[in-house]
Structure 1
Amino acid sequence: MCSVKSETPSNGQRCVRLLQVFTLATFAPICAEYLSAYDSSTGDPLVLLQGLIILAPLYGFAAVLIRELVSRSDLGMRGTLLLAAAFGVVQAGVIDQSMFRESYLGIAVWDQMTKPTQIPQLGISAYTATTFVAGHVIYSYVAPILIVESLCPASSRNRWLSRLGVSIIVVLYVVSALLVLDEHLSIEDSHASTTEISCALALSMFLVAGAYSRPQRYFESVGRFEMSATWLFLIGLIGGISMDLAAPSWLGTIVVIFTLACLAAVAFFARLSRTRLTALAFGLLLSRCLTAFSYFPLRGDVSALQKYSHNVFFIVVVLVFGMMSLRRASQCTLAEAHDG
């Protein structure tokens, strides 16, 4: 009952789906930028709201587009992860170019983050390249998609937008990306080279091609194991904390890669219902809220009151969204089991 597709939605269904688009377009940038509380905007409600004007199209519409592509081609979780990785590479390698920068936004500790794992031949830091792309995959796209879809599981497999709607989303995403790129090019001294940008685009296209390939029959033939929603929540929570607290060193990079491999193995080989996927996403988002208490913003003059009130507010946002989505996903699972 909860996953039946409707090719001709009613007016009420259209309104619900547009509300889901709006919710994801707002929730994704919050997860991508505001939960970590690293910027000078921390604790400033007006600046945070103004930031959504650019961040909602940049992160939110990218998340909506990923979700629509997966829904229209039935790409599943594997396709979602690969498309999210493609957008993450474009974001970090082409749009804000943080993957290749020698300095970034005047962050004083930038050298401490990048130099220990610098790979001169590639022009990247292994630590920042890994954490930036992984952060976009998890927090900018996949986790927000799972949480928002579970708020209304009845349409989790449906298209939310018409072709015109998708076209508008694409245009607004590109415009916001170009605005961000133009700002970075105008204020930063360090820029990615043409070769570096070309490599990032080539890698993103490779990931898109992988998303649309069909090796899932192999994964379907492999024996899968059961995991409870509680365990998946804890895996997401502990995994997220491990990645966020990993030091910017080769050992820290190995910890991040190992944790990502474990999360990917769970996603590919565990039997994950909607409820279990939501629990995993909930744990990951909550981990970012908790680790944000362990440091102050990397730039700007932010008071302790601003910092911790910001943290508390967004941890409440994640708790509300996470618990609501878990409850709705569980109800849908029970309904499906009853119908079966």
Structure 2
Amino acid sequence: MTRPAQAAPGGRPGPLRRVAPALGLFLLSPLVAEYLLGNVPPSELWGLVVLAPMYGGGAIIIREVTRRAGRGWPTIILLGCAYGVLEATLIDQTLFNPAPLFEGDVSRGSTLIPALGFSAVNALGFTVGHAVWSIGVPIAVVETLVPRRATTPWLGIPGLLFTCVVFVLGSLVLFGGIRDDSGFMASPPQRIGAAAVVVLLAVAAFLVGWRSRPAKDGRSPKPWLVGTAGFVASAAFVARPEDWWGTAAGIALIAVTAVVVGRWSRGDGWGATHRLALAGGALLTQAFLGFLLLFLHGTATTANLIGQTVLVLGALALFLVAHRGAREAGEAREAGP
């Protein structure tokens, strides 16, 4: 009998299978961040060629660096925040650009900080939005799909270096394209300040979680409760008013969510199904918001609404597959050898 094509000598999976999770993350990140959100309509799916190197490349780098360093989700989320600042200030420079995000948008003016040249509500939205939906949710879903490799590197050093090159080139292409379209360039002090914030967030990412915290007494809540909390928290975040009160409420919501999830994650029984449920709640928020943004952006054509429905159903199917795998893996661990 011949050996399966994907199997390498010694029982190891073949090269394509080994990097398959990274390839999946490469595509899933921009699909969740821009297409499921409705920011880019399904009719422009070809844009993945341009968006995936930056979004997917960034997600892979963050995930690989975190896992190689033996760190966990606090590091991933803080690096996701650094990515959010990097994209919004140095790559597409949307945070500093005085042009509205879309026709009728007034979010910038409501919380503008003149001395810094950006809106507080937008700064919070871009940073947290990218950390959660561009980085956190896609990583959580793909890691759950490969439970045996959830916390191990997916790429070797050459693959990681290649991904870094792809990320840089993709970012430069987007930077150049947006610069040509808008003609806008942030001021040197703005860019220097933004770069400093990116570095500080990256450093902070490796200062947290370096020492394991003791587990607290009691069991973690059921995954369905965690998922419901994730949906409520993420929905409240995107629905908050775009003013100073909404900014303060968003910061408070993030702090409360971090404390609650941190306590839950130290409870007995916390595992992949809980992390996936939390990501699923945020994913559901993104799905609802996507249809709304299609109408706000004037792109809610019949074809785009059908395409958006297909995207949502695809995301649901992927979530269910991941959930089934996570549950079976958890049952296998409980059963023991």
Structure 1 position 257 matched with structure 2 position 254: no
Check conservation: 1:75, 1:211, Cα contact below 8 A: no
Shift of the 295–56 alpha-carbon distance from structure 1 to 2, 3 Å rule, reads: closer
Amino acid at match of 2:59: A
1:164-197 CA-partner distances (Å, limit 9, x unpaired) = 0001000000000011111122221433111111
1:25-81 CA-partner distances (Å, limit 9, x unpaired) = 011100110011134xx241xx31x21111111101111111101110011111111
1:182-237 CA-partner distances (Å, limit 9, x unpaired) = 11222214331111111111111111111222555374377686222101111111
Shift of the 211–243 alpha-carbon distance from structure 1 to 2, 3 Å rule, reads: same
* Partner residue in 2 for 1:325: 322
User: How many Å separate the matches in 2 of 1:266 and 1:68?
Assistant: 26
1:243 offset after TM fit, Å?
A: 1.8
1:138 offset after TM fit, Å?
A: 0.6
User: How many Å separate the matches in 2 of 1:146 and 1:218?
Assistant: 20
1:14 offset after TM fit, Å?
A: 3.7
Amino acid at match of 1:34: Y
Shift of the 66–163 alpha-carbon distance from structure 1 to 2, 3 Å rule, reads: same
* Partner residue in 1 for 2:95: 99
Check conservation: 1:229, 1:279, Cα contact below 8 A: yes
1:8-32 CA-partner distances (Å, limit 9, x unpaired) = 9854164333111111101110011
Percent sequence identity is 26
Correspondent of 2:144 among 145, 150, 153: 150
Check conservation: 2:37, 2:293, Cα contact below 8 A: no
User: How many Å separate the matches in 2 of 1:318 and 1:9?
Assistant: 35
1:68-95 CA-partner distances (Å, limit 9, x unpaired) = 0111001111111111111111011110
User: How many Å separate the matches in 2 of 1:130 and 1:98?
Assistant: 13
How many aligned positions are there? 325
Check conservation: 1:83, 1:211, Cα contact below 8 A: yes
| Structure 1: gaps spanning 5 or more residues | 1-7
Q: Which of structure 1's runs of 4+ aligned residues deviate more than 6 A? A: 221-225
* Partner residue in 2 for 1:287: 285
Check conservation: 1:26, 1:52, Cα contact below 8 A: yes
For 1:21-40, list aligned pairs within 5 A: 21-39=22-40
Check conservation: 1:81, 1:137, Cα contact below 8 A: yes
* Partner residue in 2 for 1:60: 56
Check conservation: 2:72, 2:209, Cα contact below 8 A: no
1:320 offset after TM fit, Å?
A: 0.8
* Partner residue in 2 for 1:5: none
User: How many Å separate the matches in 1 of 2:241 and 2:148?
Assistant: 42
1:295 offset after TM fit, Å?
A: 4.2
* Partner residue in 2 for 1:4: none
Structure 1 position 183 matched with structure 2 position 182: no
Check conservation: 1:97, 1:191, Cα contact below 8 A: yes
1:303 offset after TM fit, Å?
A: 4.3
User: How many Å separate the matches in 2 of 1:61 and 1:182?
Assistant: 18
| Structure 2: gaps spanning 5 or more residues | 1-8
For 1:298-317, list aligned pairs within 5 A: 298-299=296-297, 302-317=299-314
**TM-score when normalising by structure 1:** 0.89
Shift of the 250–189 alpha-carbon distance from structure 1 to 2, 3 Å rule, reads: same
SS in 2 for 1:56: helix
* Partner residue in 2 for 1:162: 156
Amino acid at match of 1:81: I
Shift of the 62–15 alpha-carbon distance from structure 1 to 2, 3 Å rule, reads: same
Correspondent of 2:76 among 56, 73, 80: 80
User: How many Å separate the matches in 1 of 2:12 and 2:173?
Assistant: 35
Amino acid at match of 1:285: L
User: How many Å separate the matches in 2 of 1:9 and 1:92?
Assistant: 46
The answer to which of 219-228 and 73-82 deviates more is 219-228
SS in 1 for 2:93: coil
* Partner residue in 2 for 1:108: 103
User: How many Å separate the matches in 2 of 1:26 and 1:244?
Assistant: 24
Structure 1 position 296 matched with structure 2 position 294: yes
* Partner residue in 1 for 2:19: 18
Check conservation: 1:78, 1:268, Cα contact below 8 A: no
The answer to which of 283-292 and 135-144 deviates more is 283-292
Amino acid at match of 1:244: V
Shift of the 203–224 alpha-carbon distance from structure 1 to 2, 3 Å rule, reads: farther
Shift of the 246–214 alpha-carbon distance from structure 1 to 2, 3 Å rule, reads: closer
* Partner residue in 2 for 1:202: 196
Check conservation: 1:35, 1:288, Cα contact below 8 A: yes
1:266 offset after TM fit, Å?
A: 3.1
Shift of the 221–333 alpha-carbon distance from structure 1 to 2, 3 Å rule, reads: closer
Check conservation: 2:50, 2:170, Cα contact below 8 A: yes
* Partner residue in 2 for 1:232: 226
Check conservation: 1:103, 1:190, Cα contact below 8 A: no
User: How many Å separate the matches in 1 of 2:116 and 2:280?
Assistant: 35
Shift of the 201–321 alpha-carbon distance from structure 1 to 2, 3 Å rule, reads: same
